[in-house]
Amino acid sequence: MKIGTPKEIFDGESRVAMTPDSARQLQKLGYECAIEAGAGAAAGFSDDMYTDAGVEVIKTPAALWKASDIIAKVRQPSETELKRLSKDKTLISFFNPAGNEEGMELAKSKGGNVIAMEMVPRISRAQKMDALSSMANIAGYRAVIEAGNNFGRFFTGQITAAGKVPPAKVLVVGAGVAGLAAIGTSTSLGAITYAFDVRPEVAEQVESMGAEFVYLDFEEEQQDGAATGGYASVSSPEFREAQLAKFRELAPEVDIVITTALIPNRPAPKLWLEDMIASMKPGSVIVDLAAERGGNAEGTVADEKIVTENGVTIIGYTDFPSRMASQSSSLYATNIRHMMADLTPEKDGQVNHDMEDDVIRGATVAYQGEITFPPPPPKVQ
Ligand code: NAD
């Protein structure tokens, strides 16, 4: 069978779902590989690099889709792209099944199979295919780099002949995948780093990375996310007030705030409010990774950088992984390659779409003309 990757058509998207390295690995699973001409260029992979890796370069997207049994891409497909799906083809891509009713119906009517990368269950066995985590890791790193780029001072403290420079103070709100990556980047650059999460079980991890976990003056225990499978649930009003009070105290102190707080399937909780922004020092920077879901900070504008009246920069870019296209393409293509390995147990270049397998079942949102989303809960945790 042939795996093909088209050029991404979403405006500004620079990633690509197959790299020359991943193509070499896919060929070891028995597949032929194809790529649309120029698909890897924005991520630093030329057509010649693909040809050298044994990949066929196909000129047009229509011809690429036609020639391929499996289509691997990054972004949720457009209507034009999805119309190219047919019952003998499998699409592997981000798909946004919960918010993409038209796409789901179209996939159903086309009879093709769709594996949605955001639906890979967050269980240990599936970590190697967990593209949301790969991308969140990059976003967390890049958020700190972006903050540094917009902050007019050093991260680390220095004593120089020209004077003493205090270290920057960074607060990371939400210590999930993106938050932990941001914390690691911030401490490695030498900033004094604080982190807060509603899940107290992450405190140890935060502290082991050299950051300080922010505890609340709150009588009840901080929320226990374990009951919701490691994810946070909505905070009680009292807890929220205690959290906001602590943030109010920290706002005039910190130079950089990276917000990553997320509750699955809900709009982003508003945690960094206007009065906190107003009390920050001029030159401070907020990077709001939750911008796509409405933002954790008041005043965030998705995909924009704004500067408030008191000189605070608020960055709401939603495309951090695409801004590091070479790295994110490598990791995403590796996630896809691992998915293909699970789909090809015999390494014979043939897909065995095993709907009894928790991971494959969990990620499959359309199968043989049926919508198979949402999936049943995984059997193995
Ligand atoms: P995650 O689920 O791993 O982490 C989210 C964390 O937020 C969890 O640890 C949760 O406990 C915490 N949280 C929830 N409510 C909170 C609250 N009230 N206060 C403090 N913490 C709270 O998610 P992730 O994969 O790390 O993604 C984080 C965010 O980054 C998401 O919004 C995601 O969409 C976004 N993201 C943005 C980009 C971009 O380019 N801007 C790229 C990738 C991911």
Rounded to two decimals, the ipTM of the complex is 0.96
At 310, the pLDDT band (50, 70, 90 cuts) reads very high
State the pLDDT confidence band at 223, using cuts at 50, 70 and 90: low
Q: Which of 172, 224, 259, 260 to mutate to test the pocket of ligand 1 (most atoms within 8 A of CB)?
A: 260
Average pLDDT over residues 163-181: 97
Q: Is 114 in the pocket of ligand 1 (CB under 6 A)?
A: no
pLDDT tens readout for residues 14-67: 999 999 999 999 999 999 999 999 999 999 999 999 999 999 999 999 999 999
Q: Which of 21, 24, 27, 122 is catalytic?
A: 122
Supply the residue whose CA is at minimum distance from atom 43 of ligand 1.
Answer: 136
Q: Is 359 in the pocket of ligand 1 (CB under 6 A)?
A: no
Check pocket membership of 342 for ligand 1, CB cut-off 6 A: no
Give CB contacts under 8 A, 24+ apart, made by 117-120. 117/92, 117/93, 117/332, 117/335, 117/336, 117/339, 117/363, 118/94, 119/95, 119/362, 119/363, 119/364, 119/365, 119/373, 119/375, 120/335, 120/339, 120/359, 120/362, 120/363
Structure confidence at residue 217 as a pLDDT band (50, 70, 90) = confident
Q: What is the pTM (predicted TM-score) of this model?
A: 0.94
Please say whether the beta carbons of 202 and 175 come within 8 A.
Answer: yes
- Is 220 a residue whose pLDDT tops 80? no
The residues facing 113 across adjacent strands are 90
Query: Residues 31, 379: contact at Cβ < 8 Å?
Result: no
pLDDT score, position 226? 43
Q: Is it the case that residue 234 has pLDDT exceeding 90?
A: no
> Alpha-carbon distance 25 to 31, whole Å?
9
Q: Cβ(195)–Cβ(140) under 8 Å?
A: no
CA distance linking residue 37 with residue 20, whole number of Å: 13
| pLDDT surpassing 70 at residue 224 | no
Whether residue 221 is predicted with pLDDT greater than 90 in this model: the reply is no
Model pLDDT for residues 91-142, shown as the tens digit of each residue = 999 999 999 999 999 999 999 999 999 999 999 999 999 999 999 999 999 9
CB neighbourhood size of 288 (10 A): 31
Q: Which of 92-101, 146-155, 218-227, 352-361 comes out lowest in average pLDDT?
A: 218-227
- Give mean pLDDT, residues 274-295: 98
Structure tokens at 200: 């107290």
- Per the CB < 8 A criterion, the answer to whether 116 and 95 are in contact is yes
Per-residue pLDDT at 265: 81
Q: What angle do CA 160, 162, 163 make, to 5 degrees?
A: 70
Averaged pLDDT score across all residues of the chain: 95
223 belongs to the catalytic site? no
Token pair listed for 261:
């707080």
> CA dihedral in degrees (225, 231, 233, 235; nearest 10)?
60
Calculate mean pLDDT across residues 276-296: 98
Closest CA to 300 of 318, 288, 309: 288
